[in-house]
């Protein structure tokens, strides 16, 4: 039985991992997050409150648990907030990774770190695992710094890069691009959506699948874990409107330059997933299949 500890268990990816791993009889799951457990599933795993920005807390808990694998999903992911508060971004996205990585090295624990397409400048997307990072936002800079910490480990490590994650979780969930489009259109609100930024949007269940495959197979190195289809954010919004039969005339295309955001966004990223398909057996949903799952979960 493999002992797996996850950070960020109250987030979108964390909750999908709890959902999948708590039912896996080959796994002893330890879920951690800051504060109380906010998962609807309360059995099949142990839960501990953990502040990953505290080296002492991280060292104490990991040495107590001695996990075989740590899947690190906790992060400060609001790109503009990171741009406006560099110290908070560095604390959560770099220092926390160092605390976890250092302790995993001492325990010879496999460290799986979730990263982002924002480590790239977006001039030559889509990117494979060998592409050279060149972040243009402070969030991207911090995530690239964290990757470099992970890559220096002498014990097993994995970096899973992902992109524009969406999905449905229970109460207390933060919105994401698909739900934002759907909710605004349902309320009859006009939305401005960029047409000059391209991504490969990723269903949260697919990202969780990628994490679990890497953990169970003991896969090391860098893998892209993303959706299989490249589209602009505007096209994504149109496809959401069409799927849920909402008024797409409320969606107004905008240039990135016309939207006032503190942090720069890479224009064209996208992540190539052939390596994950080949080596991990990763099989993500097509976008319309992902929307069908979102619809089913919203109705349940």
Structure tokens at 174: 């933060």
**pLDDT attached to residue 171:** 55
**Per-residue DSSP letter, 105:** H
- Which domains does the chain show, CATH number per domain? 2-168+203-227+270-285 (3.40.50.720)
Stated pTM of the model:
0.97
Averaged pLDDT, groups of 10, the chain, 300 residues long = 97 97 97 96 97 98 98 97 98 98 98 98 98 98 98 98 94 78 97 97 98 98 98 98 98 91 96 98 98 94
Distances (CA, A) of 295 to 21, 166, 224, 300: 23, 12, 26, 9
**pLDDT attached to residue 174:** 64
**pLDDT attached to residue 259:** 84
Phi, psi (deg, nearest 5) at residue 285: -75, 150
CA distance 39 to 46: 12
**pLDDT attached to residue 169:** 84
CA distance 145 to 170: 32
**pLDDT attached to residue 185:** 97
**pLDDT attached to residue 125:** 97
């Amino acid at each position: 039985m493999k002992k797996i500890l996850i950070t960020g268990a109250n987030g979108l990816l964390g909750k999908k991992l709890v959902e999948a791993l708590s039912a896996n009889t080959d796994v002893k799951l330890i879920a951690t997050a800051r504060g109380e457990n906010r998962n609807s599933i309360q059995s099949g795993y142990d839960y501990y409150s953990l502040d990953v920005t505290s080296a002492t807390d991280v060292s104490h808990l990991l040495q107590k648990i001695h996990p075989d694998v740590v899947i690190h999903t906790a992060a400060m992911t609001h790109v503009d907030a990171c741009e406006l508060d560099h110290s908070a971004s560095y604390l959560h996205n770099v220092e926390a990774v160092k605390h976890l990585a250092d302790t995993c090295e001492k325990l010879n624990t496999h460290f799986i770190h979730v990263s982002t397409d924002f480590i790239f400048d977006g001039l030559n997307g889509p990117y494979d695992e060998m592409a050279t990072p060149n972040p243009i936002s402070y969030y991207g800079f911090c995530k690239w710094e964290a990757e470099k910490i992970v890559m220096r480990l002498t014990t097993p490590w994995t970096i899973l890069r992902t992109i524009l994650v969406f999905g449905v979780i229970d109460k207390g969930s933060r919105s994401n691009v698909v739900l934002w489009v759907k909710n605004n259109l349902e309320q009859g609100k006009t939305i401005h959506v960029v047409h000059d930024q391209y991504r490969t949007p990723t269903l949260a269940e697919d990202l969780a699948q990628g994490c679990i495959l890497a953990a169970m197979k003991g896969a090391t190195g860098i893998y892209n874990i993303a959706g299989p289809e490249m589209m602009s954010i505007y096209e994504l919004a149109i496809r959401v409107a069409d799927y849920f039969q909402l008024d797409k005339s409320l969606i107004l295309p905008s240039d990135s330059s016309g939207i006032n955001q503190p942090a720069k966004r890479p224009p064209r990223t996208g992540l190539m997933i052939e390596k994950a398909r080949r080596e991990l057996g990763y099989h993500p949903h097509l976008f319309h299949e992902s929307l069908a799952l979102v619809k089913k979960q919203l109705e349940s």
